[in-house]
Amino acid sequence: PYTREVDRNHAVPEQLNEIFDTATVYLGKPGEGPMPDFPDGYWTAKLVYTESLAYGDIWALTALSTGIGHLVVKNAGTPEQIQRWYDPVDSSGWVTGFALTEPHFGSDTSQVQTTAVRDGDHWILNGAKIYCTYGAVCEYLVAFATIDKSLGSKGIRAFVVERDTPGLVIIKANEHKLGIRGWLTAALSFEDCRIPVENALGWQDGELSADMRGQTAALTTISMNRPNVAASAIGIGQAAVDVTAELLGEQKSSFTPERWTRIGHELDAMNATLERGRRTARAAQSMLDRGSPDRLAVASAKAFAPKNSERIVRRCMQLLGPEAASEELLLEKWYRDVKIMDIFEGSGEIQRLIIARELMGSAVA
C-alpha cells in the first residue's frame, strides 16, 4: 500500500520502522542480526529472501538493505580493516555505501577519473561520483579512485571514506530516476577530501598491496551480488504474471476459447522462464556457498533473468491493455523498476561478453 507513495516522493515512508515492526517474519532490519541459518547456505537463502521482498515491491527490499560497501572491505581489506569496518555491520545495523560510477562512464570501470594522491599520512581524494548507493545515509562509503592514471585499471584502489569526512560533499541525496525511486543513490564529490593512509583497503605495514587492486575488488563484490539482482527481477516478473493471470481470469468470459488457450500458453511460458532464471541464480549462489564461486554461472544468472523479466512485465502490460499503463495498477511502475536490473551491477551486454569469453576464450572480444 505504500508503493505509490514511495514512487511519487522518491523516498521511503516516514513511518518506515513502524511498518516493518508489523512483520511476523525475519526481515533483516538494521540491528535485527544476521539472516537465520538455512541448510542450503547463506547466499542461496539470500536469493529467496530477495525475490520474496521484490515480489511485494522493490522499495521494501532497498529500504532494508545495508548496502555492499562492506563486502568490498571483506574482499580487499586486511584482517585489521575487516575487523574495523566489516565485522560490526550486522550487529550495529550500519549501512555502507558503494561509490564507483562516474558521470562519464558506465560499464567500463577502468575509466575511473577520481584521483587519490598520497600526502604524508593521508590520501587526498578529488573527483565526482553518481549513483552512489546509500551515499548520503551510510556510516562509510567505499570509493574507487586511481593512484596513477598511467596504469589504467591497475592504478585503481578502494578507499574507505567515513561519514562527515571534510571534503565529502553530497550533491544530491537521492537522484531522480526512471524507476527504483525509493532506492537511495547519491551524487557526490570529493573536494580535497583527506583520509588517513590506513583507509586504503589493502594498506598494511606502510605499503599498499599491489594485489588489492580496486577494480578487482569492485568487480568481485558486484559479482557476488549479481544473482541477487537477478532474484529481484524475478520477484518483479512473478508479481506481474500473478496479477495479470488474476485479472485476465476475471475477464475469461470475454475471450474466445482459442484466444484464452493462447493466453494460458503465454502465462505458462512466462512462469517457465522465471523458473529457469530462478534455477540459474540458485546454481550460481550454491557454488558460492560451497566456496567455489563460478564466473560463468554468475554471468549466466545476471544475463538471463533481468532481460527476460523485463520482457515478461512488458508482455503482461500488453495483455492487460490500456489499464496496465495507468496508475490504477502497479505494472507500469514494475516495468520502470525492472528496467535497471539488466543495466546496473554489470549490464546484460557485459555478462554475455563474459559468458562468451569463458566458453570460447578471450579472443572473442
Catalytic residues: 345
Nearest partner of 190 among 137, 127, 96, judged by Cα: 127
Tell me how far CA of residue 297 lies from CA of 123, 162, 190, in angstroms: 38, 34, 36
Residues paired with 102 in a beta bridge: 105
Distance (Å, whole) CA 87 – CA 108: 31
Nearest to 179 by CA among 328, 334, 309, 16: 334
Q: Strands of 66-184 (E only): list them.
A: 96-99, 115-119, 122-133, 140-146, 156-162, 168-172
Element counts in the chain: helices (H) and strands (E): 12, 9
Return the ∠ at Cα 325 (arms to 324 and 330), rounded to 5°: 60
Residue pointed to by grid coordinates 574507505: 160
DSSP 173: S
Q: Tell which residue, 111, 7, 109, has the closest CA to residue 58.
A: 7
SS3 163: coil
